[in-house]
Amino acid sequence: MNKGERISQLVAELAEGAIDLAETDVSRHPFYLAFFKCWNEQRYYDAHDVLEQLWLNTDSRDADFFKGLIQAAGAFVHLQKRFEYPSHAKHSKRLPPAVRLFRLAEKNLSRFMPRHHGLDVAALRQLLRAYADQIVASDYKTNPWSPKTAPKLKLR
């Protein structure tokens, strides 16, 4: 099974049934919805993979929007790994790359404000900025993420 097939299977499981990959409304596309479900379950790596499949297989003006969301999920992968393994040789050094991804995500999402495809992009950018700023203010020593306070994203 290749990566695309594995991701499609994951999305079908998350949707609890048949999925319509031909859906043209991004806000109802099963991969887009799966991104938010994974994010809210703190499965940031899966969220990244799911949306990456939509981004790579969609030729649209939303490329930077998808890229920004993928970068945001990637930043939270770094924080989650740092939280889980704070003294690990590799994972203990994840705060600087997280900040870089937060900044890239914020930039890529900027032209989609204030709302896009049901997401409050302005609020998400503010959240990303706050996480990055907290890390920088701690001189890259404090991880502001924890499972208890992990942010949730809502679509409207």
Q: Which domains does the chain have, with CATH numbers?
A: 3-137 (1.10.3450.10)
DSSP state of 120: E
- Mean pLDDT of each 10-residue bin along the chain, 156 residues long: 73 71 80 94 95 82 95 98 95 96 98 97 98 98 97 95
Give me the pLDDT at residue 9, please.
75
CA distance 52 to 58: 10
pTM of the model: 0.91
What is residue 54's predicted lDDT score, i.e. its pLDDT? 84
**Given this model, what pLDDT does residue 17 score?**
65
Helix (H, G, I), strand (E, B) or coil at 115: strand
At 18 the pLDDT is: 66
Please report where in the chains the tokens 């299977």 appear, as a residue. 9
